[in-house]
């Protein structure tokens, strides 16, 4: 009889009973406060939702801003893409250091204050990322015309060769002057350490915040509340990418240099925007997000109007439930040693759930695809379609990210209105993922030709070909000049062909300054007036025609895939025991960030580096950032790796669906075998509307010894 009564009592009723027995009620009814004293507004669930949403917004803004600055950081610190992947993955390293312990021990302590401390650490890390700008000195980009800046007199970009053979090494191969004053410590280390600190600070926000909501919200509203918070977390990147777009337009040393002397534009491969400014803004916002959590209680009381709906007799059998005693032991003083001893057995119990384990494997693979794709998508738009970093970030912010936010919110609404069961949520998430996958295959057809660069993608007479060695940069038209072959200072000839430098274009004279510099008597430009202008040619008409279709398809696929985000997340929460909720969320975040968040940007970046056709040169020697990529190879590597990983994940998805179906059927049999008729059986049938298969008596008999603590009642 007690077992039957426990089954007929919902989890929310259990919370109400425990709330009635909670000692703080005595304080509320004390003579000092009076029996009708109103609770502080900070004690309401809505206030916590607002505070958590703002924290999600702040962390999402700073995280997306980091991804919007990857090309700026590459150029500023002269590093390849794989090192940018290391920097990006350092955020996950910070999570890895503390997330398991924060998720497990934090759930038993004061969760709002732990979240507040995390926000402070995130803010400090964000400020640390911006620090190198103030100690590294002014940005000096590669150019062969720096001596002609602000000068209207003619200056020859083509120094006459002094008899050095054409195959001799570049005259600029060695370190330039001033290198003895350069710091031996790479400045990107500060960005790396700051991002680690951001990762440590972000750790408690998701597992403790989501579990806090799920513990205190009504069961029918939990999915909607979590969907709202997740939606806010997707709105944050909108502002993050928009902030990245604004800062990318501003020159890195704005206010310290004469902008008329700058001979490059935001579309140039050497341009570096004011990347540091956005980190200062993001750090301030994150700092403000910590404030509300200091005033929130350890647990939230339930409203009086809900207590009137339930009689004491309805919940009188809950007292002796060991399951609920375990679930609410967070409200009691916690012994650290006892919690530590219980950690490994609890983790073993969690991983023993086959549904959770398969869900974990699927999300690890899909997160590898997602994180790699999102990290380098702005860079893909820049390099493949010839857009500036500012425009790429703007498009990500106003077109792509809102589609993701709308999809996640719509998924939560659909789940609430349709009252999807756990099986329905799993099928819905898989269906949307498959549809988005098949639509994504059309991205392969939206190709773009390589930029026309003499000696790299075309010969000097205009024949299309790929050249990966510096010796092909020399031709009969420029052998008379003693040209450095490692500098990237492109000019656009009248013939529509880009030359790596005015010297390699054979130009003899120049006039003007900055972006208005014009080069004349260019022997390699065999048409018109033999002139060339500063900057790369922008004559890839086919790219401009296909780019709108790429954006439209990107929006559609993002929306469809995001529809399954909230149902999939609720599947994670509902497939485990209530008292393991915080640990399950934390361990899920730990594994996905360890096995996806850390390695994905690194190996995506390393593969992208293999498609580089021309590397820049550091001031003091050595290979710098890539200046131009083979767009065809870039497209195949980027899209192929993204979709290949998702293909592999679908095999585990189907296996997980089969295991989940058996799990649900076994739960139904266990309910019936233990006398779970009436309200309990009706609730189970309502949760699995499409899973009404009856079980035979033999199956039910085999599970008669079912332990109600073993798995979550679905």
Encode burial over 555-568: b for 16+ CB neighbours within 10 A, e otherwise: bbbbbbbbbbbbbb
Which residues are 632's β-sheet partners? none
Residue 458: which pLDDT band, with cuts at 50, 70 and 90? confident
**Separation CA 273–CA 246 (nearest Å):** 9
> Minimal CA–CA distance to 241: which of 376, 402, 374, 67?
67
**Separation CA 130–CA 74 (nearest Å):** 15
**Separation CA 442–CA 445 (nearest Å):** 5
Q: Which long-range contacts (CB under 8 A, 24 or more apart) does 705-709 make?
A: 706/670, 706/673, 706/674, 708/3, 708/6, 708/7, 708/323, 708/674, 709/322, 709/323, 709/326, 709/577
Kindly tell me if the per-residue pLDDT of 318 is higher than 70. no
Higher-confidence residue of 591 and 579: namely 591
Cβ 280 vs Cβ 130: under 8 Å: yes
Kindly tell me if the per-residue pLDDT of 632 is higher than 80. yes
The pTM score is 0.74
Ramachandran angles phi, psi of 328, nearest 5°: -105, 20
User: For the residues of 309-350, what is the DSSP string, one character each?
Assistant: TS-GGGGGGGTT-HHHHHHTGGGSPPPHHHHHHHHHHHHHHH
Point out the least confidently predicted range of 451-460, 464-473, 618-627, 634-643.
464-473
Q: Residues with Cβ < 8 Å from 560, sequence gap 6 or more?
A: 407, 432, 435, 436, 439
> Minimal CA–CA distance to 593: which of 119, 93, 57?
93
Kindly tell me if the per-residue pLDDT of 432 is higher than 50. yes
Question: Is there a shared CATH topology between the 44-140+186-301 domain and the 344-447+543-661 domain?
Answer: yes
pLDDT of the residue at 307:
46
**Separation CA 640–CA 264 (nearest Å):** 33
- Provide the mean pLDDT of the chain: 75
Q: What is the dihedral of CA 455, 460, 466, 472, to 10 degrees?
A: -40
Which residues are 160's β-sheet partners? 481
Three-state SS for 158? coil
What is the SS3 string spanning 504-552? CCCCCEEECCHHHCEEECCCCCCCCCCCEEECCCCCCHHHHHHHHHHHH
Residue 657: which pLDDT band, with cuts at 50, 70 and 90? confident
**Separation CA 47–CA 26 (nearest Å):** 23
Kindly tell me if the per-residue pLDDT of 542 is higher than 80. no
Which residues are 612's β-sheet partners? 629
Higher-confidence residue of 137 and 45: namely 137
Return the CATH number of the domain spanning residue range 44-140+186-301.
1.20.1250.20
Kindly tell me if the per-residue pLDDT of 675 is higher than 90. no
Cβ 240 vs Cβ 282: under 8 Å: yes
> Minimal CA–CA distance to 619: which of 44, 140, 21?
140
**Separation CA 150–CA 135 (nearest Å):** 27
Residue 439: which pLDDT band, with cuts at 50, 70 and 90? very high
Mean pLDDT value across residues 46-51:
82
Mean pLDDT value across residues 648-667:
83
Cβ 605 vs Cβ 85: under 8 Å: yes
pLDDT of the residue at 18:
42
pLDDT of the residue at 62:
92
pLDDT of the residue at 155:
58
Matching residue, tokens 């997340």? 569
Read off the pLDDT of residues 599-622 as tens digits, 9 standing for 90 and up.
999 999 999 999 998 888 777 767
**Separation CA 670–CA 172 (nearest Å):** 78
Residue 219: which pLDDT band, with cuts at 50, 70 and 90? low
% of the chain beyond a pLDDT of 70 = 74
Mean pLDDT value across residues 275-300:
87
**Separation CA 89–CA 533 (nearest Å):** 40
Detail the DSSP E strand segments found in 590-709. Answer: 612-617, 623-629
Mean pLDDT value across residues 429-456:
89
> Minimal CA–CA distance to 99: which of 207, 211, 214?
207
Compute the Cα dihedral for 368, 374, 378, 381 and give only its sign: positive
**Separation CA 293–CA 279 (nearest Å):** 23
Cα–Cα–Cα angle for 414, 416, 422, nearest 5°? 90
Which residues are 534's β-sheet partners? 491
Cβ 273 vs Cβ 262: under 8 Å: no
Residue 144: which pLDDT band, with cuts at 50, 70 and 90? low
pLDDT of the residue at 332:
44
Neighbours of 12 (CB within 10 A): 18
Token couple for 355: 């549904």
Kindly tell me if the per-residue pLDDT of 679 is higher than 50. no
Higher-confidence residue of 547 and 659: namely 547
Neighbours of 234 (CB within 10 A): 23
Which residues are 629's β-sheet partners? 612
User: End-to-end alpha-carbon separation of the chain, Å?
Assistant: 21
Return the CATH number of the domain spanning residue range 344-447+543-661.
1.20.1250.20
The structural domains of the chain, with segments of one domain joined by +, span 44-140+186-301, 344-447+543-661, 452-539
pLDDT of the residue at 376:
92
**What is the Rg, in whole angstroms, of the alpha carbon atoms belonging to the chain?**
30
HSE-CB for 623 with a 13 A CA cutoff? 10
> No. of H helices and E strands in the chain?
25, 7
**Separation CA 613–CA 458 (nearest Å):** 12
pLDDT of the residue at 178:
54
Q: Residues with Cβ < 8 Å from 335, sequence gap 6 or more?
A: none
Burial class of residue 109 (count of CB atoms within 10 Å of its CB; 0-12, 13-18, 19+): middle
Three-state SS for 453? strand
Mean pLDDT value across residues 688-706:
40
Residue 335: which pLDDT band, with cuts at 50, 70 and 90? low
Cβ 618 vs Cβ 174: under 8 Å: no
Residue 698: which pLDDT band, with cuts at 50, 70 and 90? very low
Token couple for 425: 């949520």
């Amino acid at each position: 009889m007690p077992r039957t009564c426990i089954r007929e009592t919902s989890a929310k009723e259990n919370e109400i009973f425990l709330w009635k027995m909670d000692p703080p009620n005595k304080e509320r009814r004390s003579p000092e406060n009076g029996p009708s004293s109103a609770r502080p507004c900070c004690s309401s669930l809505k206030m916590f939702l607002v505070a958590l949403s703002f924290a999600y917004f702040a962390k999402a803004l700073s995280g997306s801003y980091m991804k919007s600055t990857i090309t700026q950081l590459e150029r500023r610190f002269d590093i390849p893409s794989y090192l940018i992947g290391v920097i990006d993955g350092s955020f996950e390293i910070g999570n890895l250091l503390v997330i398991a312990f924060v998720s497990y021990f934090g759930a038993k302590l004061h969760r709002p204050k732990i979240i507040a401390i995390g926000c402070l650490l995130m803010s400090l890390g964000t400020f640390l990322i911006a620090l190198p700008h103030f100690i590294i000195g002014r940005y000096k980009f590669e150019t062969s015309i720096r001596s002609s800046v602000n000068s209207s007199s003619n200056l020859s970009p083509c120094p006459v060769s002094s008899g050095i053979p054409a195959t001799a090494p570049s005259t600029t191969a060695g370190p330039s002057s001033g290198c003895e004053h350069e710091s031996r410590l790479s400045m990107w280390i500060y960005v790396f350490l700051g991002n680690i600190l951001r990762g440590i600070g972000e750790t408690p926000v998701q597992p403790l915040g989501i579990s806090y909501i799920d513990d205190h919200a009504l069961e029918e509203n939990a999915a909607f509340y979590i969907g709202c918070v997740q939606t806010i977390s997707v709105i944050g990147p909108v502002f993050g990418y928009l902030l990245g777009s604004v800062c990318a337009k501003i020159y890195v040393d704005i206010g310290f240099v004469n902008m008329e002397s700058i001979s490059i534009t935001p579309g140039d491969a050497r341009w570096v925007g004011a990347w540091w400014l956005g980190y200062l803004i993001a750090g301030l916002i994150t700092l403000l997000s910590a404030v509300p959590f200091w005033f929130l209680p350890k647990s939230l009381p339930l409203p009086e109007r809900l207590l009137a709906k339930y009689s004491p007799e309805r919940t009188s059998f809950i007292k002796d439930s060991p399951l609920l005693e375990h679930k609410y032991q967070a409200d009691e003083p916690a012994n650290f040693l006892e919690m530590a001893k219980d950690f490994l057995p609890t983790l073993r119990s969690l991983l023993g759930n086959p549904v959770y384990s398969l869900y974990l494997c699927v999300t690890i693979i899909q997160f590898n695809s997602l994180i790699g794709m999102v990290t380098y998508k702005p860079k893909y738009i820049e390099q493949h379609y010839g857009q500036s970093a500012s425009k790429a970030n703007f498009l990500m912010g106003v077109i792509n990210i809102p589609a993701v936010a709308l999809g996640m919110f719509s998924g939560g609404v659909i789940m609430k209105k349709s009252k999807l069961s756990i099986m329905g949520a799993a099928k819905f998430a898989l269906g949307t993922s498959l549809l988005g996958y098949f639509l994504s295959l059309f991205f392969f057809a939206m190709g773009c030709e390589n930029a026309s660069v003499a000696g790299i993608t075309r010969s000097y007479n205009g024949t299309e070909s790929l050249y990966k060695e510096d010796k092909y940069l020399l031709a009969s038209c420029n052998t008379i000049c003693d040209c450095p072959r490692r500098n990237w200072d492109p000019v656009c000839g009248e013939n529509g062909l880009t030359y790596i430098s005015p010297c390699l274009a054979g130009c003899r004279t120049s006039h003007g300054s900055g972006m208005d510099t014009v080069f004349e008597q260019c022997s390699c430009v065999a048409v018109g007036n033999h002139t060339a202008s500063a900057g790369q040619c922008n004559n890839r008409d086919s790219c401009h025609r296909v780019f709108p279709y790429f954006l439209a398809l990107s929006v559609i696929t993002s929306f469809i895939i995001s529809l399954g985000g909230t149902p999939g997340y609720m599947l994670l929460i509902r497939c485990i025991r209530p008292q393991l909720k915080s640990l399950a969320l934390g361990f899920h975040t730990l594994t996905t960030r360890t096995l996806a968040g850390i390695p994905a940007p690194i190996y995506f970046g390393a593969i992208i580096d293999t498609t580089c056709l021309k590397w820049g040169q550091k001031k003091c020697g050595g290979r710098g950032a890539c200046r131009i990529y083979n767009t065809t190879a870039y497209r195949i590597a980027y899209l192929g790796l993204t979709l290949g990983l998702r293909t592999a994940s679908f095999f585990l998805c189907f296996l997980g669906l089969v295991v989940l179906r058996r799990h649900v059927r076994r739960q139904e049999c266990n309910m019936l075998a233990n006398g779970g008729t009436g309200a309990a059986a009706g609730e189970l049938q309502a949760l699995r509307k499409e899973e009404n298969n009856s079980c035979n008596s033999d199956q039910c008999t085999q599970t008669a010894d079912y332990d109600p603590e073993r798995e979550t009642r679905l």
